[in-house]
Amino acid sequence: MKFFSTNIIRQLDQYTIEHEPISSLDLMERAAQALFHEFTTRFSRDKEVFIFAGQGNNGGDAMALARLLLHAGYEVVTYLFNPASTNKALTPECEANRDLLFAEFPETIYEIRSEFEKPVITDNSILVDGLFGSGLNRPLEGGFAAVVNFINNSKGYVVSIDIPSGMAGEENIQADEPVIVKANLTLSLQFPKLAFFLSENQAYVGEWKVLDIQLHPEAIEQTPSNLFFQELEDVKPLLKKREKFAHKGRYGHVLLVSGRYGMAGAAVLAAKAALRSGAGLLTVQSAAHNCPVLQTAVPEAIFLADKSNELVTEVSIPDNFDVVAVGPGISTRSDVSLMLRKLLSECQKPMVIDADALNIIANQKELLQQIPANSILTPHVKEFERIFGQSKYSYDRIAKAQNAARQMNVTIILKGAYTLIATPDRNLIFNSTGNPGMATAGSGDVLTGILTALLAQGYKAEEAARLGVYLHGLAGDLALDEQSEESLIAGDIIAALGRAFKTLK
C-alpha cells in the first residue's frame, strides 16, 4: 500500500471532490459511513458513547458519525468545542453537520463556548475523539489541552478519528510532555500516517486500522510517494515460481560466515533458515571446533572449517559463491575485524551484513565505503545508532536510514515493530507482519539466512528485503498457532517458514 504525507492527502481529497465529482460534505458523509460501519462492528448498543468534536473537518466527521449512531439506536452525547475565545469559525462542513445534528437530535449535542461540564465516564463508555485531525501544526494548550487530559484520565475506551488529537501526521518533536489523546483505537481514513510507525507514538495511537473512503483511484495511482506499508497482496507478486527442470545450481550457492566457538547456534539458525528459504547450496565457514555441531544440526550444509579452532579469521571468495552473509556470532575480536576488512575489500558479490559484522563496522566506519553495492544491512536500533549516530526520535532515525541507503547504494533493514526497509531510491517500506514474541535470541540470525537465500536465487536486493522481511514476520505470526509470544523461539520461526511460503502462494 502506497501512503502519503498529510499535505498530499489533503490534495487527494480535493482532487476527489473536483474529479469524481463529489461535494466536500458528501465526501465527509462517506467517511462517516465507513466509521459507522467499523464502530457498529466492534461495539454493541449497550455502550454509552461520548463524542468530542472540534471546529474543523475532524469535528464534522465526528458529528456525522454521531447522527448515524443515533439513527441506529446508540445512546450518544456530543460535545462540540467551539470556544468564543478562539475567534475561529467552524469549517463549512463542520457547521453543516452541527446543524444537521441539532435539527434531528437537538437534545444530544452541546456546543461548548466557555465552560465545559464534564460528563461521568465509566468503563462502559466509548469516547470518540474528533477534536483535531492530521493538519495540526502546534501543540495543544488551554481548554483543548484540558479536554485531552480529561479524555486521557477517563475510564472509557477511546477511539480517535483519523489520528489522535494533538498528534501531527509525520514528525512529532515537542520539548515538553506532549498533549495528545491516548487512543485505544485509531480509525485512519484511507491511509495510515507515518507517525503510526514511530515507536514513541505507540502509546497514543493504540491499535489502528485504515478505513477506505474511496478517494479517487486515479489520483492515488498517479501521485508519487516514497512511503509504503507492505501487506500480503503487495508481496505475493514478488515470489518467483520454481522451474520444473531446474537443479540446485539454479538456486544459488550461499557462503555463510558465522559462529565463533561457543556461538555455533547462530550459524545453525542462519543456515537452516537459508536452506528452508530455497538456497540451492550452502557452505558455512565457522570456527573449526563448531564442525560437529554444524554437521549434526544441518547435515544439508557444507562445512568449511576455519584455520582457527575458535574464530573465523580468514575467508576467500571463490567464483562459485553467489552471495555472502557475514556477522552472526563471529565476535568483534581484532583478528576477526581483520578478516572482515579483507573480506569487504575483496568481495564483489552482494552481501548480507548483520550482528557482529555491523558492530565491527561501527568501530571502523571507513569500512562502510567498502560494502559492495546492492548489499543488505540488517541492524536493530542500537546497532544502527552505533554506526550512524544516535537519534532522539524515530523520525530522525528513519531519515538517516533513508540517506545512508541512497549514499551507499545498499538496502538497510531497520529491525523492530513495523520493520523498515530503506532502499537506494529513497523508498521507505514498513512491514505489516511480525509480533513481539519475535524479540528473542536468534530471530535476527533467521532473517539473515532468509535474505541470503533469496539473494542467491536471483532476487534483487529490494525484492529480497521486502520478501524476506515479510516471510520472517509471517512465519513468526504463524508460529503463534502453537506457541505464545512468551514461548516463541527462533527455531519456531524456521519451522513455520514452509507455511509462510505456502501462504504467499
Work out the pLDDT band at 172, boundaries 50, 70, 90. Answer: confident
Residue-averaged pLDDT of the chain: 96
Work out the pLDDT band at 176, boundaries 50, 70, 90. Answer: low
CA distance 40 to 249: 55
CA distance 179 to 447: 38
How open is the CA angle 497-498-500, to the nearest 5 degrees? 60
* Mean pLDDT across 107-122: 95
How open is the CA angle 335-340-345, to the nearest 5 degrees? 130
pLDDT at res. 221:
97
Closest CA to 94 of 53, 133, 135: 53
Write out pLDDT tens, residues 250-264: 999 999 999 999 999
Write out pLDDT tens, residues 244-301: 998 999 999 999 999 999 999 999 999 999 999 999 999 999 999 999 999 999 999 9
Q: What is the full DSSP assignment across 214-226?
A: ---HHHHHHS--S
Domains located in the chain, CATH noted? 2-225 (3.40.50.10260), 249-504 (3.40.1190.20)
**pTM to 2 decimals?**
0.96
